[in-house]
Structure 1
Amino acid sequence: MKKQRIIVLDMDGSLLDDNKKISQKSVNFLKKVQAYSYKIVLASGRPFRAVKPYYEQLGLDTLVICYNGAVIYNPQTSKFLYKKTYPREYILNIVETIGESNFENIVVEDFNHLEYLEKNDTLSVFAHPYDMKITYGDFKTNLPKEPLSCVFALKDKKDVPLFIKLGANKKHRNINVRFWDGTLLAETYFSDINKYTSLLKVLEYYNIPIENSICFGDGDNDLEMVSQAGIGVAMKNSTSKFLKQSADMLTLEDNNHDGIAETLKVLIPEVNDEVYFYN
């Protein structure tokens, strides 16, 4: 019996090109790979609803790592293998201290519900184009009971220091906030959870040792899993100095030129190239 192996793929900037698509060449190749005792697992900062179209496109039947490791979801059973949620009081404390009037908007979500502070275009990308229950205003009442993600849009950069201080709450030491580069958008995150910590749970579920893993990524949120993988691969297009230094190798091409598929052709040459190019 062939030993099972696992390939873990980051999505944005890795599996997906800059137009958020997977080329048909890569789709064909990755489908073929699955016939060679390789499990393919997607590991993303996205919620599952934003992973699902690609999961189905690749014909996967595996677990999915979402929210940068805070969720491990099994689409085959519609159940969670693992889920880490935020305390409602943590989010409410930030909102009450800074004041609702000082936020451009806030979006908090659980698996099938989005709650917005305001009904405007700010943060609307989180809802489109997915079918979700969406509520607005009355934040204390509508706030999901088990928030999986929280993104804040501040109005003024003067509130940033206070926001960061509130994020480093002594009561919830493992929860922090980080700002997206060049914006006043901030998200909550668990400092003790990442894609690697969830990968370990996935490996245990499938009874696959870490040395039988190949992990691809392009960002700092991929650092832990790439550095600890059996073979850790940083994307050629990665802008993360630390990731590239920690990886065992770089992809042969970037994310716009089938970087993952081209590299896997070298790492697992037993897969028939004919399927990749012509099927």
Structure 2
Amino acid sequence: MMDKYLIVTDLDGTLLNSKHNISDFNIQQINQFRKYNGQFTIATGRTNKSVEPYIKKLNIRLPIITYNGGQIYCPVKKQVLYHRTLPITEELCEYLKAAVTFSEVVFIAEEQIYTINRGDVCRDFERKENLTTIEVNWNELPKQVTKIMLMSKARKDLENFSTTLTDKFKTLTLVFSQMEYLEILPVATSKGEALKELINLCQLTDAYTIGFGDNFNDIPLLTASDLGIAVSNAEPQLKKVADHTSQYTNDQDAVGHYIQGLLK
């Protein structure tokens, strides 16, 4: 019986293939795992709205972790159970204005996406997540957001800016969720911290947690899990902290293959 197991997986680059779909094999193995009373949910950087199609396809009943740990959302009650917010201060905006020279700056609040300078990377983000951004001026931004994203193909510029912000602001968490995305979150916000909250909310303190991921933002998820698994296509830094690295990539159904082995 699987009733003592809780599987928590990242979506993009992990459970989803390169076309951002969930394979039939992954769905079959997840359903089989739950048939034997296993608990399953997701932990993603996406918004609640963006993950709705995957919630339906997987029939997820447990609360999910979204916004890279900024929220815990109950898909059954359609209710936010846990929410971390980030104040948009004048000082932070002054630094972000400098980032406009090399990146597209995006703010997410109340499931709405705002941008200062919508470009090609942001348009790709919109297509991938089936969302639409609203272009605004700096004085039109909400006072509190769930997260900020800097989107750019200039990775080195993003890395340098991350170092600058980390040195200046001690109340921020900065993490790369994809090669082109640098995310700014409230301090102590991560998938790992949210997993601890979820376990308490759902009274799953006795569960053996298995976390799956592929990128830097999954490091806290894997370290907070009893068993952290990196997919084969994961970033080298994630593989270093993982307890196990799958021989399979996200396009080869790494999550499904692990579950299949667990059920044998």
Q: TM class by shorter-chain length?
A: 0.7 to 0.9
User: 2:191 touches 2:221 (CA, 8 Å); kept in 1?
Assistant: yes
User: 1:106 touches 1:116 (CA, 8 Å); kept in 2?
Assistant: yes
**Structure 2 counterpart SS, 1:227:** helix
1:1-279 to 2 correspondences below 5 Å:
3-89=3-89, 91-95=92-96, 98=98, 102=101, 105-128=104-127, 130=130, 132=132, 134-141=133-140, 143-152=141-150, 163-164=161-162, 167-168=165-166, 170=168, 172-177=169-174, 186-209=182-205, 212-240=208-236, 242-269=237-264
C-alpha spacing 1:153/1:212, structure 2 compared with 1 (3 Å): closer
Shift of residue 57 of structure 1?
0.7
Two-structure CA RMSD over aligned residues (Å): 3.2
**Which residue of the partner structure matches residue 274 of structure 1?**
none
User: 1:65 touches 1:195 (CA, 8 Å); kept in 2?
Assistant: yes
CA offsets, 1:15-71, max 9 Å, x none?
111221111121122122222221211011222222221121111111111122111
Structure-2 separation of matches of 1:62 and 1:191: 25
**Structure 2 counterpart SS, 1:40:** strand
CA offsets, 1:58-103, max 9 Å, x none?
111111111221111112222212111111115423245x386x36
C-alpha spacing 1:168/1:64, structure 2 compared with 1 (3 Å): same
Aligned residues: 262
Q: Which moved more, 1:209-218 or 1:172-181?
A: 172-181
Structure-2 separation of matches of 1:161 and 1:261: 33
Read off the aligned partner of 1:266 and give its amino acid letter. G
**Structure 2 counterpart SS, 1:168:** helix
Identity level (%): 23
Shift of residue 174 of structure 1?
2.7
C-alpha spacing 1:140/1:249, structure 2 compared with 1 (3 Å): same
C-alpha spacing 1:193/1:130, structure 2 compared with 1 (3 Å): same
User: 2:18 touches 2:251 (CA, 8 Å); kept in 1?
Assistant: yes
Structure-2 separation of matches of 1:77 and 1:180: 28
User: 2:121 touches 2:152 (CA, 8 Å); kept in 1?
Assistant: no
Structure-2 separation of matches of 1:157 and 1:60: 35
Structure-2 separation of matches of 1:252 and 1:182: 22
* Structure-2-length-normalised TM-score: 0.83
User: 1:151 touches 1:187 (CA, 8 Å); kept in 2?
Assistant: yes
CA offsets, 1:112-162, max 9 Å, x none?
222222354451233336355x43232212x12331222235799997698
Gaps of 5+ in 1: 270-279
